[in-house]
Amino acid sequence: MPELQALIFDVDGTLAETERDGHRIAFNRSFAAANLDWDWSVERYGELLAVTGGKERIRFFWENYIPEFVPTLTEGISEKEWIAGLHKAKTKYYVQLLQEGGIGLRPGVRRLLTEARDAGIRLAIATTTTPDNVTTLLETALDPDSLGWFEIIAAGDIVPAKKPAPDIYDYVLQQMQLQPTQCLAFEDSEAGLASAQQAGLATIVTVNDYTRSQDFSGAALVLDHLGEPDLPFEVLQGNTASSYFDLALAQELFKAMHS
């Protein structure tokens, strides 16, 4: 039977609730700074989250919500470069928001990461978002030295296809020289689960307001959050007698899957 070697974490929605009050606000600030009258409401942003990746999300919005829009392009700038410029500003606003300290980790995240680290379980990140966003979130919300906690932080455009494609998880597994059967993945969304599952990873899902009603069939366990000893999780799919997610529960799920 394989032994549990590594935990691989998604970032947005999984480590922290970054979308509604983080990424969404940063997109809107970048639109305002570019004199665009676009404003993504909480509800609209929920629709747009179906597309992973910020640049891809901007293009999707343009093509599907305002197809008549024509940007004022500086000479020699392509539409792709215009989107990339807008998105670069968005990243700047998002990093600023994190540095203001507005976004903390979800329940149980720090505890589980610390426990796994102390036990010699290898840790990694597999995310769609831009590398600067991940490093700033880890440094501001987890620990100034926490980048070193993760053997690999795989993010953004490092792979050709974003989630739900399996590429980012395949990349992490390849870099760590691990088989999917030696790891557990943590996700918050249907696209993230599809990505991890296609890479062959057993996956624990912690939902949030944007993803609660999505299809998580095939997940090893679906919870409202990882829980704490004084803040029990709610089990939304699957079975466990535990009330918070720790390494013992990770090992228990792992054994059940491989026995």
Contact residues for Mg ion, defined by CB under 5 A: 10, 12-13, 188-189, 192
One residue of 17, 31, 40, 52 binding ligand XBP per CB under 6 A: 52
Query: Would residue 132 show up in a list of annotated catalytic residues for this protein?
Result: no
> What x/- string results for residues 205 through 244 when contact with ligand XBP is judged by CB under 6 A?
----------------------------------------
Closest CA to 26 of 112, 132, 118, 113: 132
Phi, psi of 25 (to 5 degrees): -65, -40
Rounded distance, CA 193 to CA 186, Å?
8
Q: Which of ligand XBP, Mg ion, none binds 53 (CB below 5-8 Å, type-dependent)? A: ligand XBP
- Is residue 166 at the binding interface for ligand XBP, with CB under 6 A as the rule? no
Query: Would residue 10 show up in a list of annotated catalytic residues for this protein?
Result: yes
> Which residue of the chain is nearest Mg ion when measured via CB?
13
- Only segment of 35-43, 62-70, 122-130, 202-210 that touches ligand XBP (CB under 6 A): 122-130
- Is residue 30 at the binding interface for ligand XBP, with CB under 6 A as the rule? no
In the bound complex, what is the minimum distance in angstroms from residue 101's beta carbon to ligand XBP? Answer: 19
- In the complex with ligand XBP, the residue whose CB is nearer, 46 or 200, is 46
Closest CA to 15 of 83, 79, 110: 110
Question: What torsion, rounded to 10 degrees, do the Cα atoms 58, 171, 151, 192 define?
Answer: 50
- In the complex with ligand XBP, the residue whose CB is nearer, 43 or 75, is 43
Secondary structure (3-state) at 123: strand
In the bound complex, what is the minimum distance in angstroms from residue 3's beta carbon to Mg ion? Answer: 27
Rounded distance, CA 257 to CA 241, Å?
16
Angle at 214 between CA 210 and CA 216, to 5 degrees: 130
> Which residue of the chain is nearest ligand XBP when measured via CB?
54
- Is residue 128 at the binding interface for ligand XBP, with CB under 6 A as the rule? yes
- For residue 96, give Cα distances in angstroms to 22, 39, 173: 10, 19, 32
Alpha helices for the chain (secondary structure H): 24-33, 42-48, 54-65, 79-99, 109-118, 131-137, 167-176, 190-198, 247-258
Closest CA to 236 of 254, 258, 214: 214
- Is residue 189 at the binding interface for ligand XBP, with CB under 6 A as the rule? yes
- Is residue 203 at the binding interface for ligand XBP, with CB under 6 A as the rule? no
Identity of residue 121? I
- Is residue 10 at the binding interface for ligand XBP, with CB under 6 A as the rule? yes
Give catalytic residues, as residue numbers. Answer: 10, 12
> Can you give the binding site for ligand XBP, defined by CB under 6 A?
10-13, 19, 23, 52-54, 90-91, 127-130, 133, 163, 189, 191-192
